[in-house]
C-alpha cells in the first residue's frame, strides 16, 4: 500500500476539520494530528511514544507557531522543580484521596482506591493521578479533581476537558484557597472551539518549515525558594482550610448519581 504524500494528508484533514463539529470525530482527528506533530519535532518519551498530552498543551497554549515549536523542543530539558513543590503536591493528593474515601464510606458508599486489578460492584472508585484524583461513580459518572499547588493554566484545564469532555472538574488552587467547578458538558462550545484551534495549528506546523519568532517561551527553570518555612506553613494552613471544601464539592456531584459502578472499571 502506497502511503499518501503529507500534503494530501493535510488537505484531507483540513477538509474533515471544516466539515464536522462532531466531538468524537474531532477528537480522533486531533490525536492523529498530535501524533504527527510529535514525530516531526521529536516530542517522544524514552520508549519513542508520542507525547500527545504535551503536544496538545502547547497547541492550546500558544497561537504563535514559533512558540509552539520552542515549547516542544524544551520538552527534553530537565525539570528543575524544587522537590518541596513536588512534596506539597503529593501530600495534597494523598490527603484528598483518604479524605474522600473516609467521607464517602461514612455516608454508606462502597468505596475502593484503585491501585491495580479489577473490582466488583462499587458505588465509587477513587483513582489518584499525577495531577490530582479521578472519582468514578454510577454507571458513567466521573469527577476530576485537579490539584494546583503552584501555577494555573487554562490550556491545561482545557486539555483535560478535551480528554474527559463529560467530566465535572473540581479545580483546587491550594495557596489562593480557591475551589471551583468547571463542567465539560456546560462548556461544550469551548471544547469544540479549542479542538478545532489545536488541529488548525497542528496542521500548520506540519505544512510549514520556518518557525522563527521573537517571543520568549518560559523554560523549566524555576525560581529558588528563599523562604521555605513561610512556604510550608502557608501551604499547610491553606490545605487545612480548603480540603473539606474540595471533599464537599465532590460529594455534591456524586449525589446526583449513585447507582453502582459496572464491574471492571
* Mean pLDDT, range 136-164, rounded to an integer: 88
Q: What pLDDT score does 120 carry?
A: 47
Quickly count: other Cβ atoms within 10 Å of residue 229's Cβ: 8
3-state secondary structure of 141: strand
Q: Which long-range contacts (CB under 8 A, 24 or more apart) does 82-86 make?
A: 82/222, 82/224, 82/225, 84/225, 84/228, 84/231, 84/232, 85/149, 85/150, 85/222
Place of cell 523562604: 227
Distance between CA atoms of residues 251 and 55, nearest Å: 33
Per-residue pLDDT band for 265 (boundaries 50, 70, 90) equals very low
**Phi and psi torsions of 131, nearest 5°:** -105, -15
What residues contact residue 132 under an 8 Å CB cut-off, 6+ apart? Answer: 93, 96, 144, 145, 146, 147, 172
- Among 59, 64, 17, 67, smallest CA distance to 36 is for 59
Q: What pLDDT score does 61 carry?
A: 93
Q: What pLDDT score does 223 carry?
A: 60
Distance between CA atoms of residues 15 and 17, nearest Å: 5
Q: What pLDDT score does 218 carry?
A: 76
Per-residue pLDDT band for 6 (boundaries 50, 70, 90) equals confident
Could you tell me the residue ranges of all domains in the chain? 6-78+192-207, 83-187+222-254
Please determine, for residue 165, whether its predicted confidence score (pLDDT) is greater than 50: yes
Query: Across the chain, what does the average pLDDT equal?
Result: 86
3-state secondary structure of 72: helix
171 and 182 in contact (C-beta within 8 Å)? yes
The predicted-structure confidence for 202-229, as pLDDT tens digits, reads as follows 999 999 888 889 898 876 555 677 889 9
The predicted-structure confidence for 28-70, as pLDDT tens digits, reads as follows 999 999 999 999 999 988 888 999 999 999 999 999 999 999 9
Task: State what percent of residues in the chain have pLDDT above 70.
Answer: 89
262 and 136 in contact (C-beta within 8 Å)? no
* Mean pLDDT, range 172-198, rounded to an integer: 94
**Phi and psi torsions of 50, nearest 5°:** -65, 135
Output 80 or 12, whichever has higher pLDDT.
Answer: 12
Distance between CA atoms of residues 164 and 158, nearest Å: 10
Q: Sheet containing 132-137: give its strands across.
A: 111-113, 124-128, 132-137, 141-148, 168-173, 178-183
Q: How far is CA 124 from CA 30, 102, 163, in A?
A: 31, 12, 21
Q: Quick one: which H or E segment has residue 173?
A: strand 168-173
Please determine, for residue 81, whether its predicted confidence score (pLDDT) is greater than 90: no
Per-residue pLDDT band for 191 (boundaries 50, 70, 90) equals very high
Please determine, for residue 175, whether its predicted confidence score (pLDDT) is greater than 90: yes
Output 117 or 39, whichever has higher pLDDT.
Answer: 39
pTM, two decimals, is 0.82
* Mean pLDDT, range 7-21, rounded to an integer: 89
Amino acid at each position: 500500500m502506497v502511503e499518501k504524500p503529507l500534503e494530501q494528508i493535510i488537505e484531507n484533514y483540513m477538509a474533515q476539520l471544516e466539515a464536522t463539529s462532531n466531538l468524537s470525530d474531532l477528537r480522533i482527528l486531533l490525536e492523529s494530528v498530535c501524533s504527527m506533530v510529535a514525530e516531526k519535532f521529536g516530542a517522544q518519551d524514552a520508549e519513542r511514544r508520542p507525547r500527545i498530552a504535551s503536544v496538545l498543551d502547547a497547541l492550546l497554549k500558544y497561537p504563535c507557531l514559533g512558540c509552539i515549536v520552542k515549547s516542544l523542543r524544551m520538552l527534553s530539558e530537565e525539570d528543575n522543580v524544587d522537590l518541596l513543590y513536588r512534596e506539597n503536591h503529593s501530600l495534597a493528593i494523598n490527603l484528598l484521596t483518604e479524605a474522600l474515601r473516609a467521607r464517602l464510606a461514612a455516608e454508606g458508599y462502597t468505596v475502593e482506591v484503585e491501585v491495580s486489578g479489577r473490582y466488583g460492584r462499587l458505588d465509587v472508585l477513587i483513582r489518584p493521578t499525577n495531577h490530582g484524583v479521578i472519582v468514578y461513580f454510577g454507571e458513567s459518572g466521573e469527577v476530576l479533581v485537579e490539584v494546583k499547588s503552584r501555577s494555573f493554566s487554562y490550556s491545561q484545564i482545557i486539555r483535560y476537558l478535551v480528554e474527559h469532555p463529560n467530566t465535572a472538574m473540581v479545580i483546587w488552587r491550594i495557596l489562593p484557597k480557591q475551589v471551583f467547578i468547571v463542567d465539560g458538558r456546560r462548556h461544550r462550545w469551548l471544547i469544540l472551539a479549542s479542538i478545532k484551534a489545536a488541529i488548525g495549528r497542528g496542521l500548520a506546523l506540519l505544512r510549514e518549515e520556518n518557525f522563527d519568532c521573537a517571543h520568549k517561551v518560559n523554560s523549566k527553570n524555576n525560581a529558588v525558594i528563599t523562604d521555605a518555612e513561610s512556604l510550608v506553613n502557608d501551604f499547610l494552613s491553606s490545605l487545612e482550610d480548603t480540603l473539606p471544601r474540595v471533599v464537599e464539592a465532590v460529594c455534591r456531584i456524586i449525589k446526583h448519581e449513585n447507582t453502582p459502578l459496572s464491574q471492571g472499571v
